Structure 1
Amino acid sequence: MTVITRIVAGTRTFPGKCGSCARKYVTFPGKWLARTGAWVRDGGDLECVPVVRKDGRTDEQLREVKITRGFQRWPAGSVLIEFGDTRVLCAASVTEGVPRWRAGSGLGWVTAEYAMLPSATNTRSSRESVKGKIGGRTHEISRLIGRSLRACIDLAALGENTIVIDCDVIQADGGTRTAAITGGYVALADAITWLGAAGRLADPQPLSAAVSAISVGVVDGRVRLDLPFEEDSRAEVDTNVVATDVGTLIEVQGTGEGATFTRSTLDKMLDMALAGCAELSRKQAEALALPYPGELPEPQSGKKSKGGK
């Protein structure tokens, strides 16, 4: 006899192992023994039952992802990206010239700034600009976004132009940095289109790959993709993975929050994260397949970006 663990569509689910996919739970028909308060298997084949999370997703499922281009009028690239209830505004602004330490090199520069609105979380947080000090977390995430997006661009092809990606969290429900990277790439791609139309690129194709990012972790002993705050806040292992659309890795950040984890768990997390990034890359491509959402500039006659041949 096995004590019931949960009810699934009229059947009963017991601890077990599916031979085909190694899920932790399987279900089979049985009968109720009132005397012992237990179910006993009553023949029939074992049937694999996906374990459903609080928001209705399976372990390997992304939250609903929406990418809205042209959300703001003025930036060369502007994207509102939504990972479930997490919403981040990503704006790519273009300026001619580069920082002083890079001037005369013929190379461009891409950098990022990350911030959260005071009302982005369930309790208001003070603006860091009012405090007069940028927090360590903000610095860390800003640098992560910047170096992730620089990994996909030929800075020589960009010429001596600077693109700043501003990522402002409107609403936070976990995964804000991964949403910022994913949306930031789409904003960057639109900014490149804008620069190309203006005739300010040293090479017309500076982007070498698409970049996306996703969180993955261990929650309740299970590897799960795209953690909302409810899961992230109690995860035993928390990992962020940044990857390209061809499946190569840019960055992996993984931490045992409440427990150590094995190499096999790490491999499973990476496999799940790369599958998630592949799906995000498809959504990015679908969004970018639409026409540029704003007005493109006229080419600058007789002028080419510094560093161009």
Structure 2
Amino acid sequence: MARQYRRANDALRPIKITRHFQHGPAGSVLIEIGRTRVICAASIEDRVPFFLRGTGTGWLKAEYALLPSATETRTPREAAKGKQNGRTQEIQRLIGRSLRAVMDLSALGERTVTIDCDVIEADGGTRTAAITGAFIALVEACDSIYKKGDIFPVTGYAAAVSVGINQANEPVLDLCYEEDSEALVDMNIVMREDLELIELQGTGEGRTYSRSELNTLLDLAQKGIRELIAYEKDALGMELVWRVGRVG
């Protein structure tokens, strides 16, 4: 089946990462993966939730929002409804878990990092793009408090990607909205650079799938994660790429 951008089944969509997209946050990124575009920002406050007070340990939390005009059919603002829907809550928890998995929270001190991910255009993979972009914003933010000789709070690289099985029963990487809406099997996978899994969300949408197919999809995800982390490193450049995982 022909894919968007005439790409192979194991190819990512075109990627563009713009750092310092906003002036206010300690770290900010515009990440564009195909037609999906997400603003990711990281802000740091000198306080922690009550359950961490006096422990010397920091925290990271995430918020996610889809702008009303991000999709072809307008999505009403959740603020106007007075509450977040279940999907929003699930995604922001996923972003938080994914980034905390590559952090030394004690190295933050008693500070809280808040990650804001705002989708300005959605064409599939908004949660995976948010995680990948937010990682870069997080590194930028942590650099603003880092002092020589300290442990850098971000201990390793992480990224996220979608994989699935399409209507032709072919495994595919990085699904756009059309592919995602028709997929027989759909997965979102988050991994560290060492390819240890952080999270795997997999669903048989149109049929069940075998252990062998799962292994194929995991291999495909690993390929995509490696490429996405290479993009992260390119975006951070020599200025910051060496900070990640630094002790002292």
Rounded to whole Å, the distance in 2 between the matches of 1:278 and 1:54 is: 21
* Matched letter for residue 203 of structure 1: D
Residues 113 and 166 in structure 1, CA contact (< 8 A), matched pair in contact too: yes
Q: How does 1:71-82 map to 2 (within 5 A)?
A: 71-82=21-32
Aligned pairs, number: 239
Q: How does 1:117-128 map to 2 (within 5 A)?
A: 117-128=67-78
Rounded to whole Å, the distance in 2 between the matches of 1:126 and 1:231 is: 24
1:208 deviation in Å? 1.3
Offset from partner CA, 1:196-247 (integer Å, 9 cap, x none): 15x8xx9332211111000000002110000000100000000000001121
Largest Rg, 1 or 2 = 1
Matched residue of 1:55: which SS? helix
1:173 aligned onto 2:123: yes
Q: Give the counterpart of 1:227 among 171, 175, 182.
A: 175
1:214 aligned onto 2:161: yes
Counterpart of 1:43 in structure 2 is none
Rounded to whole Å, the distance in 2 between the matches of 1:286 and 1:54 is: 25
Matched residue of 1:169: which SS? strand
1:101 deviation in Å? 1.6
Q: Does 1 or 2 have the higher relative contact order (CA < 8 Å, sep 6+)?
A: 2
1:205 aligned onto 2:155: no
Matched residue of 2:5: which SS? coil
Residues 52 and 59 in structure 1, CA contact (< 8 A), matched pair in contact too: no
Rounded to whole Å, the distance in 2 between the matches of 1:155 and 1:97 is: 13
1:91 aligned onto 2:41: yes
1:52 deviation in Å? 4.1
Offset from partner CA, 1:88-120 (integer Å, 9 cap, x none): 000000100101121111100011000010000
CA RMSD of aligned residues (A): 1.4
Matched residue of 1:147: which SS? helix
Counterpart of 2:199 in structure 1 is 251
Higher helix share: 2
Gaps of 5+ in 1: 1-50, 293-309
Q: How does 1:1-309 map to 2 (within 5 A)?
A: 52-196=2-146, 203-220=150-167, 221-289=169-237, 291=239
Rounded to whole Å, the distance in 2 between the matches of 1:239 and 1:78 is: 27
Matched residue of 1:195: which SS? coil
1:290 deviation in Å? 5.1
Gaps of 5+ in 2: 241-248
TM-score under structure 2 length normalisation: 0.93
Matched residue of 2:153: which SS? coil
Residues 218 and 224 in structure 1, CA contact (< 8 A), matched pair in contact too: yes
Identity over aligned pairs, percent: 54
* Matched letter for residue 83 of structure 2: K
1:70 deviation in Å? 0.0
Residues 223 and 268 in structure 1, CA contact (< 8 A), matched pair in contact too: yes
